[in-house]
Each structure stands twice: as C-alpha cells, then as structure tokens.
Amino acid sequence: MRAILTSHLTVSQPLDLAASLHSGQAHRWEAVEGWHWGVISGNLIKIRQAQGDSPDHPYVLAFSSVPKVEPGYLESLLWSYLRLDDDIESIYREITRDPRVAVMVERYRGLRLLRIEPWECLISFICSANSNLPRIHANIAAISEKFGQPLALEGHVRYTFPSPERLAEATETDLRVLRLGFRAPYVAQAAQAVAERKLDLEALRHTPYQEAKARLMELPGVGPKIADCVLLHSLDKLEAFPIDVWVRRALREWYFPSADSDGGQGPKPPPDRAMLEWAQKHFGPYAGYAELYLFHGRRLSR
DNA sequence: TTCTGCCCTTGGCA
DNA sequence: ATGCCAAGGGCAG
C-alpha cells in the first residue's frame, strides 16, 4: 500500500482549529489522538494544528487525505473551508466594538466561521430543528453511511455525504428509519428540490441576503433560523444572524434585560424578527461572526 | 398581517 | 419514573 504523505499549510492569523471544527457548525469531525478526522467535499481528511516556525507563521496545519488529488487542491479546499481568506483582524475590530462580543473574542480568539458545502449544510441544519448536537451528528453520520460512498485512510472508514440526486431517491420512510423523526419529509423534499434544479444553492452565493433567505424559506422545514444558518455557514452571508435558544437567551439577558426578568410584569421580550433587525444594525456587516462568538460563549458557560 | 399556543420524533437527563 | 428540554417550523385560531 502506498504511503499517504502528510502535507503542511502555514497560517499567519488567529486560528483555533479544534474549537472551530467542534463548535457545532459542522457535524462530521471526530477527534482521535490529537488528529481531527472529517469529510469535506468527498475527501476524507486527517488534520491537526501545530506551532509554526516563525512569528510570521505562528501555526502549521498538517494533514493527509484520500482520494489522491492534484497538488494544491487540498490546500485551497482547507483554506476555503476554514475561511482563511477572511481578514479576521478587521472583522474582530468591527464586532468587538460591542463589549460583550469583545469578551468572547478575547476568550475564544481563533474560533472561525467555516465555509461548509451548501448542500450538506442545508440538510444538516434541517436536521437540527428541535434537536441537539450529538443527535444531529448521528443523523448526518447515518445519512452518509446509508447513501454516501466509503473512504478509507489508515484504517479509518468514513462515508461521503450523498449527492442531492442520490438522497432524492430516499423516501420519507427510508429517512425515518435513520431516526430523523418529523424532519424526514423535510429532508426528502429539500433533496428533490435541489436534485430537480428547482433550487440552485450555489447561485444563492451571489444573490442578495434577503432574496436568498426568502428562496431558502420556500423549502418546508426551513424557517428564518435555519435559513440564516445556511446563509452564514455556507453561502458567505456574514450579515446572517441565526437566533437559536442560546442566542435568544444571550440577547434577552444582555441586551434587553428588562424583558422577562421580573416574572412577566415588564415589557415582553422582542420577537426574534425584531431582535434580528436590531442585531444586524448593532453588530454590523459581520453580525454572523458576532453571533458565532455569542453562541459559543453562551453554550460553553452553561 | 402578526402573534400565540400547540404539535411534531427522538433521546438524554434529572 | 415522568417530565423537561434539545441549533425550530408548521399550523390553526
């Protein structure tokens, strides 16, 4: 068997690989003995972060993968996936004008948004409705094992995420068997819409935020929160601001404290739609990055 | 038009 | 044990 060579990628900006991969954005990463194993765009990847050899290159990413690809392909894939093309210091300057976010950025510096494949991202977040991270991970693993293709590296076997066409063959019953529950018909219908080209996810990358969000919300099972997740984590809409239970709590407690802190006597907390508009204005064009830090900080502190 | 309450699957936890 | 809750959304009223 031909040995798989380990490649290296130097990084000259804040990066916490482990935190970013396991922050709940992606559902395919597994930490084993210091390495992170996952599948991106049909590539089984083993990766870890190490110290670099100079102040200009503080970090090095070491990785290997299957199948064999052209030289440089994995480097660009990882660069894009980890959003190393973002000017993170500039983004930090913008969002840390808010003191709460500044605390979180100081505490979790290097936590990055990921740029996930839109198709996989859409299905993952449809599966996230009223669920929890371990269960979502299990659902995505089950979908991949059932409908994807196996890849093997150093004895580790993982499965690619299936294409829309392949998943469109699945019936609601097929998916319920995988314990998707009431989300099963939503996943099946999303797969059909994408497979039949009724929805062009990649085109939404170049569509304005509001219009792209409206297009996503035409899918059953996709409301404002899940649409914002897909836009933020896969379609480069950094102004998207998904409001989930954790972020809702953070917003209500930190930014709208009079609401629901007095036994219901005071003014009711603003509805999500109003808080979303407020957040996008307050945090600015990188509101989604602020949301990532608020979510992360809130989730870890409880 | 917008808001509210309830339901939907599953499973972990107290 | 029995209820609550978990990266929500659909639906009726």
Our measurement of CA A273 to C1' B1, in angstroms, reads: 14
Q: Read off the pTM.
A: 0.95
* Those residues with Cβ within 8 angstroms of residue A62's Cβ, 6 or more apart along the chain or in another chain: A6, A7, A8, A47, A48, A49, A50
Please state the φ and ψ torsions of residue A153, each to the nearest 5 degrees.
-145, 120
Q: Give the CA angle between residues A253, A254, A257 to the nearest 5°.
A: 55
User: How far does the CA of A151 sit from the C1' of B4, in Å?
Assistant: 49
Q: Which among A221, A224, A214 is positioned nearest to A192, based on CA atoms?
A: A221
Q: How far is the CA of A249 from the C1' of B3 (A)?
A: 20
Q: DSSP state, A268?
A: P
Reduce the DSSP state of residue A150 to 3 states and report it.
Answer: strand
Q: Which nucleotide is nearest to A131 (CA to C1')?
A: C6
Spot the catalytic one: A225, A237, A268, A281: A225
Burial tier of A47 (Cβ tally within 10 Å: 0-12, 13-18, 19+): buried
CB A241 within 8 A of CB A288: yes
Per-residue pLDDT in tens (0 to 9) along chain A, 302 residues: 555 788 999 999 999 999 999 999 999 999 999 999 999 999 999 999 998 888 878 899 999 999 999 999 999 999 999 999 999 999 999 999 999 999 999 999 999 999 999 999 999 999 999 999 999 999 999 999 999 999 999 999 999 999 999 999 999 999 999 999 999 999 999 999 999 999 999 999 999 999 999 999 999 999 999 999 999 999 999 999 999 998 998 999 899 886 544 444 556 788 999 999 999 999 999 999 999 999 988 877 75
Number of CB atoms found within 10 A of residue A95's CB: 23
Is A23 within 8 Å of A15 (Cβ atoms)? no
Rounded Cα gap, residues A74 and A4, in angstroms: 13
Count of beta carbons in the 10 Å neighbourhood of residue A87:
10
> Which chain B nucleotides are covered by protein, judged by CB under 7 A?
2-4, 8-12
A225 a catalytic residue = yes
